[in-house]
Structure 1
Amino acid sequence: MNTAAVAAASGYSAQQVRDLEALGVIPAAARSPNGYRQFSAAHVRALRAYRHLAHAVGPVEARRAMREVHRQPPDRAAALVCGLHAGLNHEREQALAARLALEAIRAEATTEAAPVDGDSMTITELSQALGVKTSTLRFWEQVGLVASERVTTRSGTARRYTLTAIREARITAALRAGGYRIPDVQNAITAVRDLNEVSHSVAALDTRLEAIAQRALALLRAGTLLAEIIESARQRDETGGDFA
């Protein structure tokens, strides 16, 4: 196939095909005696794999992965693809943990007045509001679930809890009351912190989860093609054949 034919078969423009070849996304095409590129069905397969992979993990990571799949031995190439699945699954677990945390406090009654940045609580006020002991709050702080600030008082220093800390304490209290273990609560709190841009909304996290599901499907489609590429590489290694 010439450049125009492989472009038509893959859905890319001729220039994109040349660019992706230069980037190592597909192996270098053979050259005819007159210097024109000669592609094969295997190049089309690689281009289609890249399209799905770019949807799943982004174009930068997809380009890196495609180069490594072509370069690495079959066992390492297969492990790389497994790693992509693991990374996407981690994103899903993180979003689910954040959603769990938000569900834990969503049903709580809202205050009459909107909170302001200056709002804060002492450890005694927060313990009374949550119905837990002050020693429990100190333990939560020790294991990284809640972060207080230290303020100077006449008698020394004291803990103050900002809106963020209060919110995290509410999540922790709700999840602990629901029977979740400390490691599970730590995962939820970490997820809320890491996904701060969407952590205010369960609906936003549902949208994120749907997007991850679509990316996972794209990765599965890419995986089928990548498996063929890796298997072809193994056969070439055994027979000493060329990319075809």
Structure 2
Amino acid sequence: MEGRPLRTADVARASGYSLQQVRDLERLGVIPPAERTGNGYRAYAPVHVVALRAYRSLAFAAGPVASRHLLADAWGQSPADAAAAIGDVHVRLAREREEVLHARRALAAIRSEAGAVDPNPRSVEGTDGGAGSGAGDAMSITELAGALDVRTSTLRFWEQEGLVHPDRITSVRARHYAPEAVREARIVAALRRAGYGVRAVRELMGALGHADGLEAADRVLQSRLDGIAGRTVALLRAGSDLADVLDALAPGTSVAR
């Protein structure tokens, strides 16, 4: 590809995108504007192909919208700032993975407590930040919110969405979280921290009513881990092309080389 300008068809063939997709991604700023020949045709350079290849893998790892913004911004940034933005994608994936692992640890702790009596029912689990739920352990909304490190308004919202089912003390209409409601709240907190939306959490909580409920929830979390692993591999594949993009941003370097 060195030595002569590349036509749109050349770039499409080398990158795996269609002619229209190449034009659209140029319009969106994913690749810098092509130079124009005397007769008005686009004249691309090898860096355009590299950027499109990087975008393909990056879009799988971080999502197409975030990836479009990242590359569009990169062409106006210093290499250091663009590299930092790419590094943030790695950090976000690592954080997502840790949140899912956190949820799995929480579910494992809940599973191990099944049928067991907690000698200190008011304790907070050190491994998952959850509230203790031993026999006879009932909590107020303030106590449970503190144990789970969430707001009381969050617990009320979960109740409104049918995720958690506290009892009511009729004399004062105060919420009273019996052990089963504490357990529900712990699972909801774990799943929410793992990035699940309310609808997905509701479906998982429904599955917990079955005999293998916790195991089913754990399988869902494992599937999410597998997805994160695939996205991480895609980001690693993009690494070499992204490094070439950063080289093209170096001072004194033309991106249309």
SS in 1 for 2:230: helix
- What whole-Å deviation, never above 9, does each CA across 1:158-191 have from its counterpart, x for those lacking one? 442275533235x6xxxxxxxxxxxxxx8x4752
Indicate the larger mover: 42-51 or 129-138. 129-138
SS in 2 for 1:33: coil
Number of the residue aligned with 1:168: 185
Number of the residue aligned with 1:52: 57
Matched, 1:191 2:193: yes
d(CA) in 2 for partners of 1:65, 1:27 = 13
TM-score by length of 1: 0.73
Matched, 1:104 2:109: yes
Query: How much has 1:75 moved relative to structure 2?
Result: 1.1
Matched, 1:151 2:168: yes
Query: How much has 1:194 moved relative to structure 2?
Result: 4.5
TM-score by length of 2: 0.69
Counterparts in 2 of 1:4 and 1:41: CA distance versus 1, 3 Å: same
Query: How much has 1:241 moved relative to structure 2?
Result: 3.8
Indicate the larger mover: 2-11 or 100-109. 100-109
Q: Any gaps of 5 or more consecutive residues in structure 1?
A: 111-122, 172-185
Matched, 1:232 2:245: no
Number of the residue aligned with 1:7: 12
- What whole-Å deviation, never above 9, does each CA across 1:85-127 have from its counterpart, x for those lacking one? 11111111111111111122235659xxxxxxxxxxxx9xxx9
Matched, 1:34 2:68: no
Query: How much has 1:17 moved relative to structure 2?
Result: 0.3
Number of the residue aligned with 2:256: 243
SS in 2 for 1:71: coil
Matched, 1:214 2:216: no
Number of the residue aligned with 2:27: 22
d(CA) in 2 for partners of 1:164, 1:192 = 20
Query: How well do the aligned residues superpose, as a CA RMSD in angstroms?
Result: 3.3
The share of aligned pairs that are identical, in percent, is 40
Q: 1 or 2, which has the higher helix percentage? A: 1
